[in-house]
Amino acid sequence: MKVIFDRETDALTVIFAETPIVESDEDKPGVILDYDENGNLVSLEILDASQRITSPGRIEFAVESAAA
């Protein structure tokens, strides 16, 4: 997974897979979901990110441990 915040365009992109995008849908205004040929979510883009997300340039990542 890759997360990119472009300050110049004010866009936050989360890339889940390096797979070609064949379809994009604007789920809500400024929220774009990209899909591969099998309908799997490939990436998520949030436009005007600084207006929609608190501190878009700050990322916290956590992996929860699996239940035993």
The pLDDT, as a whole number, for residue 46 is: 95
Do 26 and 32 meet the contact criterion of CB atoms below 8 Å apart?
yes
Give the model confidence (pLDDT) of 14-68 as tens digits.
999 999 999 999 989 999 999 999 999 999 999 999 999 888 888 888 888 877 6
Q: Long-range contact list for 54-57, CB < 8 A, 24+ apart?
A: 56/5, 56/12, 57/5, 57/7
Q: Is the pTM of this model over 0.85?
A: no
The pLDDT, as a whole number, for residue 68 is: 62
The pLDDT, as a whole number, for residue 7 is: 93
14 DSSP assignment: E
Is the dihedral angle over the CA atoms 31, 35, 40, 44 positive or is it negative? negative
Extents of the domains making up the chain: 2-52
Q: Which of 28, 41, 31 is nearest to 1 (CA)?
A: 41
